[in-house]
Structure formats: structure tokens, C-alpha cells
Amino acid sequence: MLQGFSAELKRLSIFVAICLLLGWLTGHLLLVLDIGVLAYLVYMLWQMSRLNRWLLRKNDEEPPEAAGIWGDVFDNIYHLQRHQRQEKENLQAVINRVQEITSALKDGVILLDWRGHLDFWNPAAQRLLGFHTKDQGLSVINFIRHPRFVSYFEEGNYSEPLELPSPRFSSKQLQFQITRFGKNERLILVRDITQIHNLEQMRQDFIANVSHELRTPLTVISGYLETLADNNNLGPTWQKPLQQMQQQTQRMALLINDLLVLSKLETTEVGHNQKLIPLDPLLHSIRNEAMALSGDKEQEITLSCDGNIQLLGNEKELHSAFSNLVVNAVKYTPAKGKIAMRLWKDKQNCYFAVSDNGPGIENKHIPRLTERFYRVDASRNSSTGGTGLGLAIVKHVLLRHDAELKITSEVGKGSVFTCVFPLH
Ligand code: ADP
């Protein structure tokens, strides 16, 4: 650039010197200088028009030859153009590669702009949801109208994926996971989970059927066992085995009952039989049941309720969840121990807590307590007659009520199980 500029300066100085010499020789210095300036201006205009014509040609043609500063201008613009073209090609290659990858994906990928309108989608999304090229720019809610998708999309809490039947093929089950990126744009990943869903359905049906089918033979067995136990002719050698058989059939009945409760929770729609439930009478009846269960253990079971708190929910399910927590406290707290049931609320939530001064639970077990059949101590568990399903039932019921279970415990001091129901 500087080279061209100094060459131009040199050329201009020589030109001015020639003009001055001619002006001096002819005695018309001003006139010759005017003609010189005009000639230089015409030269500049000519170069500018060459530049303009070259730029307008828009092809990869080499720039016109020029000397001085114009040579530099032509060369620099040419290099800039080539650099930009190269950058554009690189970017296009990246875009093509990303498009190739998303086209090869089995999962649907949808990009939405800040308004939630369709911007880009891959062939899998097209196949699963039936988009067409003309749909670009339309709101995604026009295509996935399911009320659960609409509220999931609008609420904006995308921490968990959403599972729904496909809007295009009712036999397919899809999973939607939304992620925010850029300037409030959204990326939706759509997975076909029909197979997993069917397997899960089979598992649920299998457990429900097996539990149901086991009920009748078990009732027959326990009926005969009772008759045998009442039979005085059997002699003392049979007493212990019969007692154990009765205990085990009772355990099996409890287990089957809990399995049926769980499978019912899994198979019935959330919101089934929901109404406003006054919690005070419900908790009083649970306390009475707990006192009956506590029996000889003479535990102190207290209940405190703040005002007349009501919850929108399924009464049977809530009874089952609260009762499981209280029954656990009775089971695991030693004789003469203290159990407190408390109900209160603040601006955001309603709380129901069961605390006891029982053996407590080591911290490492707490995150796993709500897993099915998870037991802190299997031997203690069988002596207390637990099924290992109680807290799994509690967790399921709470999930169905948008609530969560919080557990705090200290070994040797006791445990607190708190159900937190958001008031919205
Ligand atoms: P279970 O039928 O064995 O009681 P749960 O799912 O109700 O099954 O409980 C899981 C485990 O959590 C129990 O086996 C027990 O070890 C522990 N647990 C539950 N409640 C209490 C409690 N109040 N105090 C101490 N341990 C408890």
C-alpha cells in the first residue's frame, strides 16, 4: 500500500514539475497548471470507472493492470475478495457437513427461531412429524398440538424429556427433549421410543397379571393354613412350621398387594379421580391406624396440623403414600419411641413430615431408598415384615402430584421424611 502511495507521489511530483516547466516556458503558468489538474482528475475518474466495471463483473477475473496507488487498490480488493470467497467456501463446507450428519441421524433434529417457528429440520424429523418445505417459518405448535407438548413447550422447563404418541402415527411413541441455545432459539431432539415404550408396557402388564394371578392361589393356601393351625389334632411339632408358613404367606400377600398398587399407579392416567382433599381427617385416620399397628410397642405418635389445609389430588393415593411413611416409622422405631406427624404450609408449598427417633439411616443409602426392593438391612427388613416397595410407592404417588420426597436422617438419632407439594 505504502509502496503504491510513494510511487503515486513520485509520479505526481514529476507531473507537477513538468507542468511548472511548461508553464514557465510558455509564460502561461496558471493555465498549464489548470490543464494539468484537469488531466490528473480525468485519469483518476478513468481508474475509478475501471474499478467499478471490474467489480460489477462479479466473476473471478484478475483485476485490470494499473500503476501507482490504483495498482494497490485493485490488488487489495482482489485479495480481500479471494479471502472472503475462501471463508465462504469453508463455512459452506461446515454447513454441508453438519447437514450430512443430521441427515444421517435416526433421531429428529428441529431448530426453532426465538418465536418458536420452524427454521431447520432433518429428514428424520420430517418423517416422524410430517413437515414439508413450505412449513418453514410456521410455529411448531401447529404441528405438535398435543396439550402436554404445548404446556411443556410454553412453560420452558426442559430439564426432563417429554413422551407422547406421535402426531402422525398413533402407534409410535416419541420422546421430545428441548434445549435452548443462541438468542433464545431452541433445538428439539425427537426420538422414536416405540420399542422401549412397548417393552415397558409389557413389563407393567406382566407384573400386573402375575400379581393378580397369584392372589387367588395365595388366598386358598392361607385359608387352608388357617384351618390347619386351628386343628388341635396336629400336635405341637406342626405348630412352628404352620406359624412360619402363615407368616410367609402373609408377607407374600403384602408384597402382591404393593406390586398391584405400584402397577396401578403406573397404568392409570395422572389426575385420575382428583379432588380437593381436606388433609386433617385423612391424617387423623392414618394416626389411628398407626397406633393400632404400634400396639404393644407403646410409641408416642403425635399429629399437628396447621389450619384446614386441602390438597388437590387422589385421596386413595395420598392415603397410601402418607400411610407408608407412618407405617415405616412405626416399624423401624423401637418400643416407646417418638413419632411426629406434621402438616403445615408456607407461600410456595404444603408440607407433610413424619419424623421419628428410630435408628436413622446412613447417608449413602438415602438416594437409593425409593428404588424398588432397596433395603438398608435385609435381615432387619424381613423381621419387620417389609416388602421393600413402600417408599417406591410414596415416590410414585408424589410424582403424580408434582411433589417430591425429602429425606434427612442421622444414624442413632432418627429420620425425617418430608413430602413437599407445590401450591400452584
Ligand atoms: P420396607 O417395606 O422394607 O419398609 P420401604 O421402601 O418402605 O421398604 O423402605 C426402604 C428401606 O428404608 C427400609 O428397608 C428401611 O431400611 C429404610 N427405612 C424406611 N423408613 C425408615 C425409618 N423411618 N427409619 C429407618 N429406616 C427406614
What does the pLDDT look like over 43-71, one tens digit per residue? 999 999 988 998 888 667 788 888 888 88
For a ligand 1 pocket test, name from 322, 332, 394 the mutation site with the most ligand atoms within 8 angstroms of its C-beta: 332
Report the pLDDT value the prediction gives residue 36, as an integer from 0 to 100: 93
The CATH code that applies to domain 275-422 is 3.30.565.10
Is 415 close to ligand 1, i.e. is its CB under 6 Å away?
Answer: yes
Q: Whose CA is nearest to atom 17 of ligand 1?
A: 376
Q: Residue ranges of the chain with pLDDT lower than 50?
A: none
Report the pLDDT value the prediction gives residue 280, as an integer from 0 to 100: 94
Report the pLDDT value the prediction gives residue 383, as an integer from 0 to 100: 62
CATH superfamily of 105-192: PAS domain (3.30.450.20)
Residue 20 to residue 28: CA distance in whole angstroms:
9
Report the pLDDT value the prediction gives residue 317, as an integer from 0 to 100: 95
- Ligand 1 centroid to residue 375 C-alpha, Å: 7
Instruction: Check: CB of residue 341 under 8 Å from CB of residue 279.
Output: no
Q: Whose CA is nearest to atom 7 of ligand 1?
A: 390
Is 421 close to ligand 1, i.e. is its CB under 6 Å away?
Answer: no
Report the SS3 class of residue 302: strand
DSSP H or E run through 303: strand 300-305
Report the pLDDT value the prediction gives residue 74, as an integer from 0 to 100: 87
Is 381 close to ligand 1, i.e. is its CB under 6 Å away?
Answer: yes
End-to-end, the C-alpha distance of the chain in Å comes to 69
Report the pLDDT value the prediction gives residue 238, as an integer from 0 to 100: 87
Nearest to 117 by CA among 95, 132, 135: 135
CATH topology of domain 200-267: Helix Hairpins (1.10.287)
Question: In b/e form, how buried is each residue of 210-226, taking b as 16+ CB within 10 angstroms?
Answer: ebeebeeebeebbeebe
Is the pTM of the predicted complex or chain greater than 0.75? no
Cα atoms in the Cβ-side hemisphere of radius 13 Å centred on 229? 14
Report the pLDDT value the prediction gives residue 386, as an integer from 0 to 100: 78
Sign (positive/negative) of CA torsion 209, 215, 221, 224?
Answer: negative
- The residue ranges of every structural domain in the chain are 2-92, 105-192, 200-267, 275-422
Single-letter amino acid, residue 64: P
Residue 301 to residue 283: CA distance in whole angstroms:
12
Report the pLDDT value the prediction gives residue 273, as an integer from 0 to 100: 82
Residue 223 to residue 361: CA distance in whole angstroms:
38
Report the pLDDT value the prediction gives residue 384, as an integer from 0 to 100: 63
Which residues is 174 bridged to in the sheet? Answer: 164, 192
Instruction: Check: CB of residue 417 under 8 Å from CB of residue 358.
Output: no
C-alpha dist (Å) from residue 358 to 296, 310, 361, 409: 16, 30, 9, 10
- For the CA of 388, the nearest atom of ligand 1: 8
Is 337 close to ligand 1, i.e. is its CB under 6 Å away?
Answer: no
Report the pLDDT value the prediction gives residue 54, as an integer from 0 to 100: 87
